[in-house]
Amino acid sequence: MSNIYNTEPPTTARCIMATTAGDLELELWAKECPLACRNFIQLCLEGYYDGVGFHRLVPGFIVQGGDPSGSGTGGESIYGEPFIDEPHQRLRFSRRGLLACANEGDRDTNGSQFFFTLDATPELQSRHTLFGRITGPSIYNLLSLASVEVLPGTGTPANIPRVLGVRVLEEPFGDIKPRITAEEKRAQEKARKAARRERKEREAKIGGVKNTSLLSFGEVEATTETFKGPKSSHDLLPEMR
């Protein structure tokens, strides 16, 4: 293992990814893979991965995440479009615990999705950008994360492990400007949940009024008197998704 590390270039960025299976200590090759590392670091700073699940698991091969939709077809890059691969001759898929870009099935189609290797995967060489590695004892947290049951024939974990958050400890760029901070993202999500809850409560009340058709004629008439006047479209329209 030490010989492998000796052939790899030095890393220039560090992160800690907190997951439901424990922390993963990450080191990134930002000099060799600047596009992939800048994309990953900025998304981490934006809180993009917070709460996102590892939607795909192939035991002994890879575990994949980074898609907020959980479908395996979602995600985005910070560049507004997929970015190109960044192969490097000194970065090899030679062991477990390596971090790489997941693409859309073709080269140069990288976005927000990533995967960790669970073994040597030489068949992925030159097909995916390898831009980081897990260091120290935190590799065992990756193995724990990847030990969950997989639904037969799906590649989907039965109990999906998730990213809780990512702390960027060191990055060499110095000019990364998040489109939104992790705190702002959490506040927006909290507001969206509150709005959804209010809409459901409102719809439940509207449903209660509509159900007065089950009451006697006299009770319906009394209820109608109480609710004179038209309802706003905001009250009547179902939730937009």
Number of structural domains (the chain) is 2
**Domain identity same for 102 and 125:** yes
SS3 state at 68: coil
Residues 174 and 223 in one domain: no
Assigned domain for 61 exists: yes
In a domain, 241, yes or no: no
Domain end (from 179, 210, 227) = 179
Q: Is 110 a catalytic residue?
A: no
Return all residues near 178 (Cβ < 8 A) that are at least 6 apart: 42, 45, 46
Give the active site residue among 28, 35, 54, 56. 56
pLDDT in tens, 98-148: 999 999 999 999 999 999 999 999 999 999 999 999 999 999 999 999 999
Residues 85 and 21 in one domain: yes
Amino acid at 2: S
* CA–CA dist 69, 71 (Å, integer): 5
Any catalytic annotation for residue 42? Answer: no
- 38 and 134 co-located in one domain: yes
Strand order in the sheet with 110-117: 56-58, 62-65, 110-117, 98-103, 130-134, 22-28, 13-19, 163-170
| 128 is annotated as an active-site residue | yes
Considering the domain architecture, whether residues 164 and 226 belong to the same structural domain is answered as no
Task: Please check whether residues 113 and 224 belong to one and the same domain.
Answer: no
Is 179 a residue of the active site?
no
**Is 92 marked active-site?**
no
166 and 204 inside one domain: no
Print the domain residue range for 30. Answer: 2-179
Would you say residue 151 lies in a domain?
Answer: yes
Given 92, 124, 127, 164, the catalytic residue: 124
Residue 29 token pair: 């090759």
218 lies in the same domain as 166 = no
pLDDT tens for each residue of 216-240: 334 444 444 443 434 343 343 444 3
Extract the tokens encoding 12.
Answer: 């220039």
31-68 pLDDT tens trace: 999 999 999 999 999 999 999 999 999 999 999 999 99
Catalytic residue at 61? Answer: yes
Residues in contact with 230: Cβ distance below 8 Å, sequence separation at least 6, in sequence order: none
